[in-house]
Amino acid sequence: MPELTERFFEALISGDRPGSRAIVDEALTQRDARALISELFWPTYEMVERLYRSDQLSKLSHHLATRLLRVLVDQNASRLRAGPTRGRRVLALCGPRDSDELGAQMAVDLIEHAGFEVRFGGGGIASDEIMAHIHNERPNVLLMFASGANDLPQIRQLIDQLHEIGACPDLQIVVGAGVFNRADGLAEEIGADLWARNPLELVEVLVEEPERRFEASQRSVGRTKKRARRDAA
């Protein structure tokens, strides 16, 4: 829906609430709530974030867009119905910005729709609290989606700690979007088991590869790629 996405983008950045709702209603005559996320909400969200990062969108326009889109994503969540349970529990986290939580929420809505049980903690959670939750609740998946560059030191430390102490050896560590879309090979380098560029791809990898786990060799491959990128720069 390229034409609809363009209209939706313009309505969001201008803060046009009635116009944005009307476009969503129009989209729902052609697509269901799941497709609305992957074909309208997410592409528009990525456009807003890309233009804001490149200083082509003002802070006011960015805030108008992300706040309004968050309301529409919330409303769309009520249209989704969880599928048959897969018996897998996910602890989902993200970056600390409001827009990070918006991106992660779209992912959370889709994976819950796919039959996963999800706990969404958002951003800004200390590592010791995350570790305590993992130890006590034993989720099957730790998902860190829509994280920013400033989150990387904590993410690296958390993954290293989980690998080194062997805490919850069956835990699958999954990352996606945000900084991981902007740095090729980063997910491998830090030791993630799975990674995805967008919410729909995330659902696919979680469903199709529940047994995939990090191997030490992946990190050396990731570091080789990192050195190659640095040498080429």
Tokens at residue 218, please?
């992946």
3-state helix, strand, coil in the chain (%, to 5): 60, 10, 30
pLDDT number for residue 167: 63
Tokens at residue 98, please?
């409001």
Locate the DSSP E strands across the chain.
Answer: 89-93, 117-122, 141-145, 172-176, 194-196
Interval 185-212: pLDDT, tens: 888 888 899 999 999 999 999 999 888 8
pTM: 0.86
Q: For residues 102 and 199, state if they share a domain.
A: yes
Number of domains in the chain: 2
Sign of CA pseudo-dihedral 196, 199, 205, 206: positive
Give residue 58's domain range: 2-77
Interval 58-112: pLDDT, tens: 999 999 999 999 999 999 999 998 888 999 999 999 999 999 999 999 999 999 9
Q: For residues 69 and 183, state if they share a domain.
A: no
Q: Which of 15, 44, 77 lies at the terminal end of a domain, its last residue?
A: 77
